[in-house]
Structure 1
Amino acid sequence: MLKTSLLCLAFAVSFFLNAQDPQSPTEFLGYELGTRFTPHHRMVDYFQYLNQKRPQLIKLEEYGRTYEERPLIMAFVSSEENMADLEKIRREHIQSTEGLGNPNKAIVWMSYNAHGNESASTEAAMQTVYELMTEKKGYLENTVVLMDPCINPDGRDRYVNWYNQFGNNETTIDPNSKEHHEPWLNGRPNHYMFDLNRDWAWLTQQESQQRIVLYNKWLPHVHVDFHEQGVNSPYYFAPAAEPFHEVITDFQRDFQMTVGKNHAKYFDSNGWFYFTKEIYDLLYPSYGDTFPTYNGAIGMTYEQGGSGRAGLGITTNNGDTLTLKDRVTHHIATGLSTLEVCANNVERLNSEFKKYYKNKDYLYKSYVLKGKRDYLERLAELLQQHEIEFGIGKNTTVKGYDYGKGTSGSIRANDNSLVVSTQQKKGTLVKVLFEPNAKLTDSLTYDITAWSLPYAYGLEAIASETPVANTRTSAQEFIRSRQERMPETSNDNAAYAFLSDWDSMKDAQFLADLLQSEIQVRFAKKPFSMDGKQYNRGSLIIARADNKNNVEFIKQLRAVAKKHGKHITPTATGFVEGGKDFGSASVQFINKVKVAVLSGVPTSTLHFGEIWHFFEQQLHYPLTIIDSDYWEEIDLSDYDVLILPDGDKYTQFLDETALRALKTWVEDGGKLIAMGGALKGLIQEEGFGLTAKISETDSSTMVPVYDETVRQQINKAITGAIFRTKVDTTHPLAFGYKDTYYSLKLGHTAYNYLDEGTVVYLEKENTKPVAGFAGTTARKRIADTLIFGVEAHGKGHVVYMVDNPLFRGFWENGKLFFANALFLVD
C-alpha cells in the first residue's frame, strides 16, 4: 500500500512539474536576459531544454553545421494539435504552390543573427519562443513558426568570446572604451568572412547551402530577418524603401504596411523611436528579405540600433544610454507583433500565396544559354539547389534579346544548351536572376544594382518572348551526358604527352591538384594544332619527360583527371601540326607557387574572405595568411606570390619603406597581385607604373543643395553595374577568355591604361552599363581605363585588378583571371 502511495505521489509531482510553464531564459541561464551575451552552445541548450520540457509544442531539427562545426538548428513551434500534424500542414501548404488544396495555417519563418555581432537578436529569439509557449500561445492556434535562432554561429561566438574577454566587469557606456571597438576580425561575417545576408541567392557558403534545403521544403508565407544598425539609429521596420523590384506584388507591399502599422502601435505606446520607408530597399536578390520575397513570402528586415559597437551598453550621440536589454526588448516586440498580424490574416496569406504561384505573364518566357560547358554545369547545380526547373535545348533557332549585342538576336539551341523558363513554380525567381537589366524605380539603393547570371557565368544568352522547347533534366544528368560523350582515353604508357584544355575554373582546380600531386605541367603561350585538333592559348601539356622520375606518373595523372571529370588527350609526339612544338620557349613550365595573402588592417575583412574561401573551398590550393601586425617581420623571399586584398587604408599602410621592400621583392622575381583599394597604395613614388585617372569633373565647383546632396552625389557613383570590357586574349592573364568580358564594377575609382600590359580595359564607347546604375559623371570618369593589367618589374610582375573577379564568390566568369594571375603570368 505504501509503495502504491509513493508511486502515486511521484506521478503527481511529475505531473505538477510538467504542467508548470518551462523556465524563462533568465531562469534557465542563471542571469537576467540582456545583462550578458549568451554563447551559442548555451542558446542551443535552452532550445533543447524547451524541446524536452514541451515536445508537444516545439520540435528541433539540426539542419546543418558551420565551417567550425557548430550546429545550425531550426525550432518548429505551434499548438499541440498543429505539431501533431506538422508534416501534413507542410504538404498542404506546398501543394498551394501548384494551385491545389485549401491550407488554413500561416507559415512564418524568423531568422536571427545572420550577422554575428548583431547579437541582440539571438537573445531575443530565446525570449520570443518562451513567450510563444506561455503567454502568447493563442498565436500558435493557426500559425506554424519556424525559428532559426542563429544563422551565423561562428560569427556570433567570435563576437561574444571577444566581448567577454575585453568587456569591463561594470558595463562601460563610454564609446571610447575598448569593448566598443571590435578588432579587424570582427563578428559580422561567418568563418570565411562572408556576409551571409548577401548569400541567399548565390549559395557560396556552407550555411546557406544547408539552409536552402529546408527553406525550399517550407517556402513560408512570411520571412523576417532580424538585424542591427549603427548605435545612433533608432529602430527600422517595414515597409521598405524604394526601389522595390517590379515583380513585388501589391499584396506584398500592402502587407508590409499592415505589419509596420502594427509595430508602430506598440512602439508608440512605449515612446520608442523608429523609422520606415528609408535606406533598406527591396531590389538586390540575395538578402534575407528580398530572396524570400521573390519566393512568394512577405520578406522583411528589422534593424535595431546597436551592432557590435554597442556592447552591453553605450552612450549615443544624443546622450541616451542604449543597453542590450533595450535592443532585445525591441526585437521581441516586433517578432511578436509580426506573429500577431499573421495569426489575424491567415486566410489572406494563404489565398495570396496561392495566387503568387500562378503562372506570371512575364515578357520573357524562356532564357536560352550556351557557352563553356563547365560554366553551364556549374549554373545547373545552382539552379537545382534552388529547385528551379531547367532543360536541355532542342535543335532549333531561338530569337530574342541577345545579351552580348544588347539588341535582338538569335541563338541555336541544342543538347549543349540550357533552357530556363519563367513558366514554372519558381518563375519569378528565374526572372529576377536572369533578366538582362533589373528595372530601377530609384537610383539610390543599398547594394549592387546588377547581377544577371548570364553575365556572371560568361554565357551566351537569349531572352525569348515565347516558350522554348526543351527536355527537362537535372544537374547530375546534364553533367553525366557530357561524360558519356567523352572519348575513352587509352592508358597509353607510350604517350609523349597528355593535353588538356584551359578555359574554366574547373581547369584551374585540375591544375592545382596536379601541382600538389607533384606532377610537372607546361602551358602553351601560342595556339597550336595536334592530331587534327586545335588547342588554344593556355592549354595544358603534361609531358612524360618532365615526369620521368615519377614511377606512378600515369596512375596519378589518371586519378586526378577522373576526380575532376577532365578528359586528357594522349599524343605520340611533341611535333605539332601548326604552332610551336612542345620544346619551344613558347611552351612554359607552370611553377608550384607558394602563395601568401595579407590580412588585417588595411584589408577589408569581406574581400580578404573572398580570397581565403577561393583558395580553400574552390581552388583547393594552399595559402599562407600573413597578418599586418607582423608583416615587417616576414621574409617575402619565402613566397612566390603575394596578394593584397581590397581595402581602404593602404595609403597609410604602404609607407615609403614598405613600398621599397615590395618593389625589391618584385624585381627579384616575386609576383604581386593587388586588388581594388590596394592599388591606391601603389600609385605613390616607388616606381610602380600605375596612375589614377583624373577627370575634369573631379574639380567640380557645383555648390550642393542642402536637401539634394545625396542625389547629386549619386551622379558620381556606380552602384554595382555590369560593363562590357575588351580583352587582350594574347596575354597569359586572359588565357581561356574571349575578346569580351562583362565586369561587375563596384565604384568609380579609375586608372589609366598601363604603358604595357593592359589586358582588360573599358573603352569610351562602352561606359554605359549593360545592366545596373552608373551616374553620368562616373561614366565619364571611367572612360578608357584599366580593368586588369600586368606590369613587369625586373624578374617579377605586378598584377593590377581594379574590379573584383572574386566578388562574393558568385561572379563565376571572373575566377579564371585570378587563376591565370597565380599560375600563368610569369
Structure 2
Amino acid sequence: MKNVFFAIALVFSISLQAQLKSPEEFLPSYGKTVSYYYQVENYFGHLVQNSEYIQHKPYGQTTQERGLNVYYISTPENLRDLENIRLNNLYQIGMGDTKPATINDKAIIWLSFNVHGNEIGATESAMSVAYELINPENKETKEWLENTIVILDPCLNPDGFSRYGNWLRDISGKNTHPGIYDREHIEPWPGGRQNHYAYDLNRDWAWQTQIETQQRMLLYNEWMPMVHVDVHEMGFNEPYFFPPAAEPMHEFITDAQKDFYNNIGEMTAKKFDSEGWNYYTRERFDLFYPSYGDTYPTFNGAVGMTYEQGGIGAGRAITMTNGNLLTLQDRIDHHTAAILTAVETTSWQKDKLVKNFRSYFKEGKEEPKGKYRTYVVKNSGKTEQLARLLKRNKIEYAYAAESKKTSGYHYQSDAVKDFTIEPNDLIVSVNQPKATLTQVLFEPAQKLTDSLSYDITAWALPHAYGIESYALKGKLSIDIKKEISRKGKFDYERLYAYYVPWNGRASAKVLGLMLKSGIKVRSSRKASAFRGIKVSPGDLMILKGDNPQLSDFKNVMEVFLDKKPDYEVVESGFSLSGGDLGGENYPLIETPKVLLLAGRSVSATDFGQVWFYMDEVINYPVSIVEVQDMDRIRLSEFTTIVLPDGWYSLSESDKKNIDNFIDNGGKVIAIANALSIFEDRPGYNLTKFATSEAKLLETTAEDEEVLQSRFYDYQNAERRALSGSVPGAIVENVLDKSHPLAYGLGDKYFSLKTSDSRYELLKNVWNVAYVPKGYKNFGFIGKSLKKKLENTVTFAVQQKGRGQIIYMVDNPLFRGFWENGNLLFSNALFLVD
C-alpha cells in the first residue's frame, strides 16, 4: 500500500514540475519591459501552484491596498517542518519561549527586492531567482535548499513599483529609446522610488514609521534570519556592487560577519569574472546608519548586505557612457547571478552561520559591546511613543515600580549626574537578546571610523524623542512592572473644563480631532495651577462655556479624550496661581486651514514627510497644490501654507501673493531650502549675516581658502570637502521656552542637522531655537563648519504685517522618527499665532 501512495505522489510531483514555467514562458514581455504588479503576483501564484518547493505567506497591505508577500522556498521536507524550524531558531537565540519538538538547524536567508519602486531590475530578477531555486532541472539549487530556508520578498514597495511601472508602460512605444534624452529616462515627480507617502522605505527599518515596514518587521522578528540580502539599483552608468561594504563600519559589527562579507565577495567575484561583468566592492555603501536594509539586519545578528545594479533611469534600455547598451534583461541577469550566489554561499556556510548567529546573541547579552548597561528614560508624554518603537523592534523594557537614587550619564547635559528614578520611568536593560540593537539605538555617541559616511551619523533615541534620559554603566537593581500605573482621576463636584497636557503627538492628534469637529480649545501661555493640576505653557483647556453646542459636554469630551488618558477635569476657572481660564493667558486656538505645496521644484521625500505627518500622525486635513498651479489658488481661503524643502523658482507674481497672504494674517511654515524664497528680500529679516563685518570676515576667509587651494592635491578633494559639511549630526540648541514654538520641547532642543545651511541670529525676529557658542554635538560635523554654526538660528518666527513666517533651517520632520520634531511642527501648526 505504501508503494502505491509513493507512486501516486511521484506522479503528482512530476505532473506539477511539467507545468512549471519560467518567467519568460509565463510573461510574454519579461525582460523587455517592466511587469505590472499583478503579473508579478500571478507569476508567484503560478510557482506556488506548480511546485512543492515554495509556499506563499501574505503579510499585509500597502496604503494603496496592494498585497505584501513573502515566499518560503526550500525542499518539501523542510517546508513541512517550517514552523518547527522557525521556533527552533528563535528558541536558540533567546527570543522564543516554545521549545521546538525537534532540533532542525537550517540556514535562513531573507531576500528583499525593490524597496525603492523605480529600481525595477530587482523585482524582475526576483521572479528569475525564485524560478531557478525551484526549477526541477537545476540540481545544484536543490542541494542548497536541503539545509537552507529562503524567504523571498519580491517587492517591498508595491505602490512605488506600480507608480513607476504604470508610467513607463504608458509612455513606451514598440521601440526602445536608448538615448538619454527620451522621456522614458526622465521620470516625472514624485517618481517611483518612494512609497505612497513619498517616504524612503530603505531608511525606515529601525524607525518603522510606515505601514509597509511595520507589517514586514512583524514577520521578520518572527523569523530572525541569519543572512539578509537587500537588492537595489543605482545610477545606470554604475557597474555592479556587492559586499564587502565600505567604511565606516560600525564598531559593533563582528569579525564573523565581516568574514562572511569577504567570502561572499570572493564567490560573487568569480561568477562575474567568468562572465566579464563589471563590478566593485568596498568603495561605497557603508555599514553605519542603523535603519537600512543591510545595517538593521546586521545589528539583529544577521549578515546584512546591499546589492546594487546600475539601472535607475535606464527604462527598458539605455546607452551608457562607455557606449554599451544596458537592457532590462542585463539587469535581471546580473542580479540573478549575484543573488543565487548569496544563497549558495549561505548553504555552503550553514554550520558556521548557525553557530555564529547564536553566539552573536549569547555574547551580546553576556558581554555587551557598548559603554552602558542600563538606560533610564523619565516618564513623559513622549515616553509611551518611545515604548511603541521598542516594542516594534522586540526590544525588552519595563517601568520602574519604586523610587531609587542613583547616578548616570545625563544625555541632555552630556555629563554624569545624580538623579532619582521614579515610578513609571522607562527602564531598558541590555541584558536581553536584542542587546546590540538596543545599544546601537541608545548609545550617546557612535564611533565613526571614517567621516565619508553615506548617511546621518547620530540618532540617539533620547535626543530624538526629547526626553530626559540617563545611561548607567552597571546593571540596575530596582523593582519593575510591565505597564505604567496611572493615578485615578480627581473627584469633582462640577465640571468647568477639561485639561489636556501638551506633551506629544497624541496631544496634537486630539487637538486636531477637536478643532475639525468644531470644538473650541484654548492653550496656556504661562504656567498656572488649579486644584491638583499644574499647567505648563502649551497645555490645552476645553471650556464648557466655550462649547454650548455640546449638550452632553462630559460624554462627548470623554470620547474625544479616550486616547489621551492623562487628561483631568477642572472644577473652576479660578486659578491657584498664574492666570484664570478666562484671561489673556488662555487664548483660543484658531482652526488651521492648511495648504501644502508639491510638484517638481519640491523635494518629494520632504513633501512626503509633511503629508504623512498631516495624514497619519495627527489625521488632520491638508490641501495639496502643485507649485505650477499656485496662480489658480485663492490663498485667502487658507490660514497656513507649508513650503517643504525644495528648489523653488517662484514667479514674482507667486511671491507677491505669498507676501500679501502673510501681511493679511496668514502663516507660512518654510522648511530648509524653502527659506531661499525669503532670504534677503524686502520685508523679510532672513539674511545669512547679521552684520556687514561678519559677511566681510567670511568672504575674506573664503578668498584665503581659494588661494590656499592652489597647493592641494587632486586625490583628497572629496575628503577636504567634508570639512564644510554635515551629513547628519545632533546639535544642541538653546530654547526660548516662553515662545509657543518651543512649548513642550524640554529645556533644550537637540536638532538633527543634515545640511550646512546656516543663518546668524536674526534681527527683529524671535530666535526661538539657536545653536549657542560652545554647543554640544554628536556625530560628524566638518572642522571648518563646526565653528561657523555657533550663534546661528535653527527655528525662528518673524511677525510680518498681521501674519507670521516660521523659518525652519533644519527639517523637524526628517524621516518621521525625530519625535520631538513632530511636536515642534505641531507647535508651528497649531500654537504659533
CA distance in 1, matches of 2:557, 2:123: 49
CA distance in 2, matches of 1:286, 1:12: 46
Residue identity in the other structure for 2:205: W
CA distance in 1, matches of 2:10, 2:719: 70
How far off is 1:825 after superposition? 1.0
Larger deviation, residues 97-106 vs 714-723: 97-106
How far off is 1:473 after superposition? 5.0
Contact 2:69 2:154 in 1 (8 A): yes
Q: Does 1:503 align with 2:511?
A: no
Q: Does 1:232 align with 2:237?
A: yes
Q: Does 1:407 align with 2:409?
A: no
> Which residue matches 2:109?
108
Contact 1:660 1:686 in 2 (8 A): no
Q: How does 1:454-469 map to 2 (within 5 A)?
A: 454-469=462-477
Q: Residue deviations 1:212-235, cap 9 Å, x none?
A: 111111111100000001111100
Q: Does 1:762 align with 2:771?
A: yes
> Which residue matches 2:190?
185
Larger deviation, residues 677-686 vs 213-222: 677-686
> Which residue matches 2:692?
none
Q: How does 1:724-763 map to 2 (within 5 A)?
A: 724-755=732-763, 756-763=765-772
> Which residue matches 1:805?
812
Q: Does 1:48 align with 2:45?
A: yes
CA distance in 1, matches of 2:397, 2:524: 37
> Which residue matches 1:29?
27
How far off is 1:208 after superposition? 0.6
Q: Does 1:207 align with 2:212?
A: yes
CA distance in 2, matches of 1:52, 1:102: 30
Residue identity in the other structure for 1:588: P
Contact 1:366 1:419 in 2 (8 A): no
CA distance in 1, matches of 2:750, 2:40: 45
Contact 2:252 2:369 in 1 (8 A): no
Residue identity in the other structure for 1:278: E
**Tell me, what secondary structure is at the counterpart of 1:589?**
coil
> Which residue matches 1:453?
461
**16, 19, 41: which one pairs with 1:18?**
16
> Which residue matches 2:325?
321
CA distance in 2, matches of 1:553, 1:444: 59
> Which residue matches 2:799?
792
CA distance in 2, matches of 1:473, 1:115: 41
How far off is 1:373 after superposition? 2.2
**299, 323, 333: which one pairs with 1:294?**
299
- Show structure 1 runs of 5+ residues with no match: 1-9
**Tell me, what secondary structure is at the counterpart of 2:716?**
helix
**349, 355, 359: which one pairs with 1:351?**
355
- In structure 2, the CA distance between the partners of 1:470 and 1:176, relative to structure 1 (3 Å rule), is farther
> Which residue matches 2:731?
723
CA distance in 2, matches of 1:535, 1:423: 38
CA distance in 1, matches of 2:379, 2:479: 20
CA distance in 2, matches of 1:350, 1:49: 32
Larger deviation, residues 223-232 vs 135-144: 135-144
How far off is 1:531 after superposition? 2.3
Q: Residue deviations 1:484-541, cap 9 Å, x none?
A: x231565x6x533322222322211111111122111111222222225431112222
Q: Percent identity?
A: 40
- Show structure 2 runs of 5+ residues with no match: 1-7, 690-694
**482, 487, 491: which one pairs with 2:489?**
487
CA distance in 2, matches of 1:140, 1:610: 42
- In structure 2, the CA distance between the partners of 1:441 and 1:824, relative to structure 1 (3 Å rule), is same
How far off is 1:11 after superposition? 11
Contact 2:597 2:625 in 1 (8 A): yes
Residue identity in the other structure for 1:683: E
CA distance in 2, matches of 1:301, 1:368: 31
How far off is 1:705 after superposition? 2.0
**678, 683, 687: which one pairs with 1:682?**
678
- In structure 2, the CA distance between the partners of 1:808 and 1:486, relative to structure 1 (3 Å rule), is farther
CA distance in 1, matches of 2:448, 2:354: 29
Larger deviation, residues 356-365 vs 136-145: 356-365
CA distance in 1, matches of 2:653, 2:498: 47
Contact 1:561 1:568 in 2 (8 A): no
CA distance in 1, matches of 2:730, 2:35: 43
Q: Residue deviations 1:370-410, cap 9 Å, x none?
A: 33522111111111111111122342223232212212223
How far off is 1:15 after superposition? 6.9
Contact 1:727 1:740 in 2 (8 A): yes
Q: Residue deviations 1:328-365, cap 9 Å, x none?
A: 10000111111111111111111111111112233444
CA distance in 2, matches of 1:421, 1:11: 52
**67, 74, 78: which one pairs with 2:70?**
74
CA distance in 1, matches of 2:415, 2:564: 37
CA distance in 2, matches of 1:12, 1:434: 55
CA distance in 2, matches of 1:128, 1:351: 27
Residue identity in the other structure for 2:359: K
Q: How does 1:337-348 map to 2 (within 5 A)?
A: 337-348=341-352
How far off is 1:16 after superposition? 5.5
CA distance in 1, matches of 2:667, 2:261: 52
TM-score by length of 1: 0.94
Residue identity in the other structure for 1:763: P
Contact 1:106 1:346 in 2 (8 A): yes
Q: How does 1:556-571 map to 2 (within 5 A)?
A: 556-571=556-571
Q: Residue deviations 1:85-127, cap 9 Å, x none?
A: 1111112222221399965311000000000000101110101
CA distance in 2, matches of 1:357, 1:637: 59
- In structure 2, the CA distance between the partners of 1:520 and 1:381, relative to structure 1 (3 Å rule), is same
Contact 1:509 1:620 in 2 (8 A): yes
Contact 2:466 2:745 in 1 (8 A): no
**CA-based RMSD:** 2.0
> Which residue matches 2:126?
125
**Tell me, what secondary structure is at the counterpart of 1:109?**
strand
CA distance in 2, matches of 1:722, 1:430: 19
Larger deviation, residues 34-43 vs 536-545: 536-545
Residue identity in the other structure for 1:98: G
TM-score by length of 2: 0.93
Contact 1:724 1:742 in 2 (8 A): yes
**Tell me, what secondary structure is at the counterpart of 1:587?**
coil
Contact 1:659 1:686 in 2 (8 A): no
Moved over 4 A (4+): 10-16, 99-103, 470-474, 696-699
Q: How does 1:616-635 map to 2 (within 5 A)?
A: 616-635=615-634
CA distance in 1, matches of 2:686, 2:93: 55
**Tell me, what secondary structure is at the counterpart of 2:770?**
strand
Contact 1:369 1:459 in 2 (8 A): no
**157, 161, 166: which one pairs with 2:166?**
161
Contact 1:763 1:785 in 2 (8 A): yes
Q: Does 1:263 align with 2:268?
A: yes
Contact 1:392 1:470 in 2 (8 A): no
CA distance in 2, matches of 1:15, 1:426: 42
Q: Residue deviations 1:645-693, cap 9 Å, x none?
A: 011x12xx23432222211110001000000110112114242110124
> Which residue matches 1:582?
581
Q: Residue deviations 1:141-193, cap 9 Å, x none?
A: 11110000000000000000010011232010011001100111100000011
Q: Does 1:64 align with 2:71?
A: no
Residue identity in the other structure for 1:645: P
Q: How does 1:126-145 map to 2 (within 5 A)?
A: 126-134=127-135, 135=138, 136-145=141-150
> Which residue matches 1:5?
none
Residue identity in the other structure for 1:350: V
**Tell me, what secondary structure is at the counterpart of 1:23?**
coil
Contact 2:189 2:604 in 1 (8 A): yes
Residue identity in the other structure for 1:279: R
CA distance in 1, matches of 2:613, 2:632: 26
- In structure 2, the CA distance between the partners of 1:414 and 1:371, relative to structure 1 (3 Å rule), is closer
